[in-house]
Structure 1
Amino acid sequence: MIESLPRRPHPALSLLVCALAGLAVGGLTLEMQGTLPGVLNHLGNSGAVWSLAAFGAGAALPVRGFRAAVAGTLVLVGAVVGYYGSTTAFLRDDVSRAALTGPAVWIAVAVVAGPIFGVAGALSRAGRPVYRAAALGALGAVFVAEGLYLAVVVRQAGEAALMVGLGVVLPPLLGRGGADRLRGLAALVPMTLLGAVATGVVYLVAQLAFR
């Protein structure tokens, strides 16, 4: 008798998991801000960490292409909602019109970054070698770019070193073999240039929005 193959989860179920995971990530990172010691505390207030969650959704779930983009977006939008929802529920933050500027800005960023890292996660799992390298390089680059921002703009040397270190470690850590790891590290350089530009744009938009 031929055994039946295990069924893949319904796409709608996968996307629901992404949304719920995003809510959990948002609430968890708020909790991390009050518990992690020293420079590790920055991990609770890091856009790169949220991007890693979107990447993980694309890599772990049986999605690709458009669905991977939607999965990454749901994770990041869910993280924004989970974070600010937690600040409102547990910290009694203001819910005035002015206070909604923050969530609005970061949801806009999530809608742009979510598809990028969701698709990158899917490509890191099943893409061609050059695509896997670009995906791994993109993930590492968002950490390195954030580290450069912390070093140059915020002047937080310890936090900057932490993020740059994570950015350099992630591509070889997640690569599927020696060649994958080397290609991922090579892609880290051009991807970091793109990431630095993107970080600068987000910084300028945030400055204008919160002025």
Structure 2
Amino acid sequence: MRIDHRTAALTAVLGGLLLGSLDFMWIKWVPYPFAELGNSTATWAVAAFAFGWWVRSGPVRAALGAAALLVVAVPSYYLTATLLQGDDLAVVWAPTSLLWMAFGVLAGVVFGVGGTWARGTGPRQILGTALPAAVFFEEAARFAGRAGDQRATWNIVIDVALGVLAVVLVGRSNRQRALGLAVALPVAAVIFLGFAVAAGP
């Protein structure tokens, strides 16, 4: 079923509002270690992927909609924090928030398009299938870098399990799933290096 542009736009905005608000509530009320999924960049990236997977009407619409979803989610998150625990509303337009929105545009484009690719054929299908797993595996690698933090072990297990589950759900054949898992590892390494560069020295 082809999704028309109005439905896609409305879903992107409403999805962003829900993602931001539910993410904050998840962090606030869900116990550890699952609460960490609210602080997860992978979770937001997979939301953008899911939008691209659902919209199935070309990479441009998927990219724009997924980017809009993540951009809207940022102020929604901080607005929910203001409503539920009295945080300063000014943080919505603070430089940090604007930076997260810029990252949202980038992640939305990449993972929104990836969602459409996963429904396609050939090498793009495999790369698209690999993307959700790759972000969870990359996040697991960052947790593994926390030497001496025993709590991080649970986060690693959860991220790896979610990465494998993502490939199982997205893949439409065992071959696609196997290739997706294989490709996810080098893609995760690229994402890991990207975070390292962005974080600076």
Q: In structure 2, which of residues 140, 145, 148 is the aligned counterpart of residue 147 of structure 1? A: 140
Aligned to 2:187: 191
Q: In structure 1, which of residues 159, 162, 166 is the aligned counterpart of residue 158 of structure 2? A: 162
SS at match of 2:63: helix
Show the 5 A alignment for 1:100-139: 100-125=94-119, 127-139=120-132
* 1-structure distance, mates of 2:117, 2:86: 40
- The alpha-carbon distance between structure 1 residues 32 and 97, as it changes in their structure 2 partners (threshold 3 A), is closer
Aligned to 1:78: 72
How far is the alpha carbon of 1:99 from its aligned partner?
Answer: 7.4
Q: Any conservation in 2 of the 1:109–1:202 contact (CA below 8 Å)? A: no
Superposed CA deviations along residues 8-39 of structure 1, whole A, max 9, x for unmatched, are 44313212211210110110011111222221
Gaps of 5+ in 1: 1-5
User: What is the TM-score of this pair, normalised by structure 1?
Assistant: 0.85
- The alpha-carbon distance between structure 1 residues 63 and 85, as it changes in their structure 2 partners (threshold 3 A), is farther
* 2-structure distance, mates of 1:159, 1:39: 6
Question: Does 1:92 pair with 2:90?
Answer: no
Flag the structure with larger Rg. Answer: 1
Q: Percent identity?
A: 30
Q: How many residues align?
A: 198
Superposed CA deviations along residues 132-165 of structure 1, whole A, max 9, x for unmatched, are 1101212111111111112214842221221122
Gaps of 5+ in 2: none
User: What is the TM-score of this pair, normalised by structure 2?
Assistant: 0.89
Aligned to 1:54: 48
